[in-house]
Amino acid sequence: MRRMLTTAAAAALLASLALAAPAAAERKTHTLRFGPISVGKYAALKRSNDSATPGVTGSIVAMDANLVDADGQVVPQSQVMLHHLVYFDVGYEGAPRYDGTCPKKPAERFYGTSEELRPMTLPDGYGYPIDAQDRWRMAWMVMNHTSSARKVFIEAHVTTDDAPGIAPVKPYWVSVVPCGADPQYTVPGGRAPGTSHVKRIAWKVPLDGRIVAVGGHLHGGARRIALGQPRCANRTLVTSRPTYGPPDDPLYRVRPPLHEPDPRSISWWQSATGVPVVAGEELTVSSVYDAERAHMRVMGIDHVYVAPDAAASRDCDPVPADAVELGPDFEGGRAEPPPVKLTLAQLGGDGVAHPIDAPPGTTRSYERDASIRVGALAFRPSRVSIPAGGRVRWRYFDPVDHDATMVTGPQGFGAPWSRRGDSFTRRFDVPGTYRVYCSLHPARMSQLIRVRAR
């Protein structure tokens, strides 16, 4: 039932509101919790869904997120891992938002974090503008490294400020694999020790402004991601550097090791002065990985926050002195990606995943090409032999996504996430033994591909 105010009470309330005005700007940290998420043992779960919002008209000046249990305790990444998390602002009816680098996408990516759990910070005086009516979405992937099903929550902390003078920033996600749902690629490996694999993209800056913050997203095997400015003598503006955990980090003691751990820190750059950029100029993003070993399903994404500024300088002034680089918050980290030995695994009758050399069964030999049926959480046949130059075709029949990702072998590859009706074909020119799993169901779905020398 609605409560009605008497005229006198309403008048008194108006009087007290008038006395309180003008309202002081408010800085507040909101906790947004999503869940529970039930994730099976050794499972990777990915999804996108609506997110709660702060319900504030103002600016986001800081944000972070992690996984917590029902008591609000942070869950260690070595147990249940937040592999990635991206927040999207959809806007509202009459004021839709579109992505900065993929404008066909009707939602603006504004904060992303991954295994390194890097918070978003902006220099003082800057913020990402939001409206109380905005709707948000979130896309996430969670990996359970343990032998029991777990319930976790994604908990974000969003610091908003409704002061009127905060300069707005526009977020741009610049990926070396642009605009796909799964912007991954594979470093095939097999090159000399110390050499690097570089994947580069050019990005046309859409407006005059100043870059005031840059974050990076990289996977295990990465050496750096660099933002370059060809217009100014091809200089490097910002290098986002990974730091890997120390050798005794629990991340490297996950057994069985089903994926190559990402860096535990990726440096974050910010400057209140900012680096001026001009509408129409091209910046480059270079994602640099170790080329000696294969690294499957890697990414290279710069998160570039630009403050629109029509008066921004067109000169190539030096990178400002107030630029800071925020590095790891732990000791003993490693700059070079450590070698990680991955393995196939299979859930045993004891409910625990055990490393296996190959899936059970006999090997089916083909004169030329092999066709593999992916369904009911299995590859059929699971062991095949083809001649060099032959092809393997995966045909997908399950309603959920799977992929085919090399674990060990002479040349890395990763087939894209696929489901019922999809297929993918790869030609194998390099002889040898390829151990392959579905990276989304690594303890259940494995296969062996022998490629015979001709």
Q: Which is nearer to Cu ion, 159 or 418 (CB)?
A: 418
Close Cβ partners of 335 (under 8 Å, ≥ 6 residues apart) = 241, 242, 243, 244
Q: Which is nearer to Cu ion, 174 or 445 (CB)?
A: 445
CB of 378 to Cu ion, least distance (A): 9
237 binding Cu ion? (CB under 5 A): no
Stretch that binds Cu ion, among 31-39, 265-273, 353-361, 434-442 (CB under 5 A): 434-442
Cα angle for residues 271, 277, 280 (degrees, 5° grid)? 155
* Residue 393, CA atoms < 13 Å, CB-side half-sphere: 9
Q: Which is nearer to Cu ion, 227 or 344 (CB)?
A: 344
User: Looking at 60, 288, 438, 451, which residue binds Cu ion (CB under 5 A)?
Assistant: 438
Among positions 138-177, residues that touch Cu ion (CB under 5 A) are none
CB of 148 to Cu ion, least distance (A): 20
CA distance 179 to 224: 21
User: With left for phi above 0 and alpha for psi between -120 and 50, is residue 216 left, alpha or beta?
Assistant: beta
CB of 373 to Cu ion, least distance (A): 13
259 binding Cu ion? (CB under 5 A): no
Q: Which is nearer to Cu ion, 222 or 353 (CB)?
A: 353
Stretch that binds Cu ion, among 138-146, 387-395, 418-426, 437-445 (CB under 5 A): 437-445
CB of 154 to Cu ion, least distance (A): 22
Size of the site for Cu ion (CB under 5 A): 4
CA 159 to chain CA mean position, Å: 21
Among positions 346-375, residues that touch Cu ion (CB under 5 A) are none
DSSP assigned state of 101: S
Neighbours of 24 (CB within 10 A): 8
CA distance 242 to 247: 15
CA distance 291 to 295: 8
Q: Which is nearer to Cu ion, 5 or 149 (CB)?
A: 149
440 binding Cu ion? (CB under 5 A): yes
Q: Which is nearer to Cu ion, 217 or 441 (CB)?
A: 441
CB of 417 to Cu ion, least distance (A): 9
Could you list the beta-strand ranges (E) of 255-352. Answer: 265-266, 268-277, 282-290, 295-298, 300-308, 324-326, 344-347
Q: What does the per-residue mask of binding to Cu ion show for 96-125, with x meaning CB under 5 A?
A: ------------------------------
Close Cβ partners of 371 (under 8 Å, ≥ 6 residues apart) = 392, 393, 395
CB of 377 to Cu ion, least distance (A): 7
CA distance 379 to 382: 5
Q: What does the per-residue mask of binding to Cu ion show for 383-422, with x meaning CB under 5 A?
A: -------------------x--------------------
Q: Which is nearer to Cu ion, 167 or 440 (CB)?
A: 440
Locate 354 and state its tokens.
């055990």
Of 270, 229, 261, the closest CA to residue 242 belongs to: 261
CB of 340 to Cu ion, least distance (A): 21
441 binding Cu ion? (CB under 5 A): yes
Q: Which is nearer to Cu ion, 175 or 418 (CB)?
A: 418
219 binding Cu ion? (CB under 5 A): no
Q: Which is nearer to Cu ion, 43 or 205 (CB)?
A: 43
CA distance 238 to 322: 13
Q: Is 329 helix (H, G, I), strand (E, B) or coil?
A: coil
Query: Which residues form the interface with Cu ion (CB under 5 A)?
Result: 402, 438, 440-441
